[in-house]
Amino acid sequence: MSAFGVIQAVVIGVLVLGSALYALRKLLPGLSTRWLAAASASLNKPWRKPWLRALGRRLQPAQATGNCGDGCGTCGSCGPAPSDSRPPSSARPDVQPLEFRSRDRAAR
Q: How many domains does the chain have?
A: 1
| Residue 14 belongs to some domain of the structure | yes
Which pLDDT score is estimated for 65? Answer: 46
**Residue 1's pLDDT is what?**
74
32 in any annotated domain: yes
Q: Does some domain include residue 13?
A: yes
- Per-residue pLDDT of the chain (108 residues), as tens digits, is 788 999 999 999 999 999 999 999 899 988 888 988 899 999 989 999 999 999 999 988 876 445 555 555 556 555 555 555 555 555 566 777 888 888 876 655
Going from the C-alpha of 22 to that of each of 4, 71, 94, the distances in angstroms are 27, 18, 46
Length of the chain as a residue count: 108
Task: Report yes or no on 39 lying in a domain.
Answer: yes
Residue 42 lies in a domain: yes
Q: Are 32 and 39 in contact (CB under 8 A)?
A: no
Question: Is residue 86 in a domain?
Answer: no
Task: Look up the domain containing 33 and give its range.
Answer: 3-59
Q: Is residue 41 part of a domain?
A: yes
User: Would 31 be classed as within a structural domain?
Assistant: yes
